[in-house]
């Protein structure tokens, strides 16, 4: 197995792992956030609007973490800067 083979296999595995872990934890966090936000208006129905606004903002923040992982995985797969060393 040449270096290039090893490189492509490892980078594929790492990209898949990165996106798997990077989606798993934000998904758990989003689940907890939504669950907590659903519980709150049951106790205080008048506070629904600020809660839903804060929930949306918080979900966007958490989601952006998953998006960072996606961007990194795409960089590893399509625009890997280390690939130049092999192709030189």
Partner 1 sequence: MNNVIIWHFHRLVFTEPLLLSLGVSACLVALALVLRQRIALASGGPPVIVEAAYQLMHDAVAEVVGATHVERVLPFVGTLWLFILLANLLGLVPGLVSPTRDLSITSALAITVFAAVHVFGVRACGWKAYLRHYLAPNPILLPFHLISEITRTIALAIRLFGNMMSLEMAAMLVLLVAGLLVPVPLLLLHVVEALIQAYIFGMLALIYIGSALEAGQQAQPPPTPSVPEERS
Considering only residues 29, 70, 77, 83, which one is a binding residue for partner 1 as defined by CB under 8 A?
Answer: 70
Which C-beta is closer to partner 1: that of 17 or that of 71? 71
Considering only residues 5, 43, 49, 88, which one is a binding residue for partner 1 as defined by CB under 8 A?
Answer: 49
User: What secondary structure, in 3-state letters, does the chain show?
Assistant: CCHHHHHHHHHHHHHHHHHHHHHHHHHHHHHHHHHHHHHHHHHCHHHHHHHHHHHHHHHHHHHHHHHHHHHHHHHHHHCCCCHHHHHC
Binding site for partner 1 (CB under 8 A): 49-50, 53-54, 56-58, 60-61, 63-64, 67-68, 70-71, 78-79
């Amino acid at each position: 197995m040449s270096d290039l083979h090893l490189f492509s296999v490892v980078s594929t595995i790492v990209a898949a792992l990165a996106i798997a872990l990077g989606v798993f934890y934000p998904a758990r966090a989003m689940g907890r956030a939504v669950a907590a936000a659903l519980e709150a208006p049951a106790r205080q129905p008048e506070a629904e609007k600020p809660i839903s606004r804060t929930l949306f903002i918080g979900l966007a923040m958490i989601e952006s973490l998953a998006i960072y992982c996606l961007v990194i995985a795409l960089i590893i797969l399509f625009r890997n800067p280390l690939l130049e060393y092999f192709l030189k």
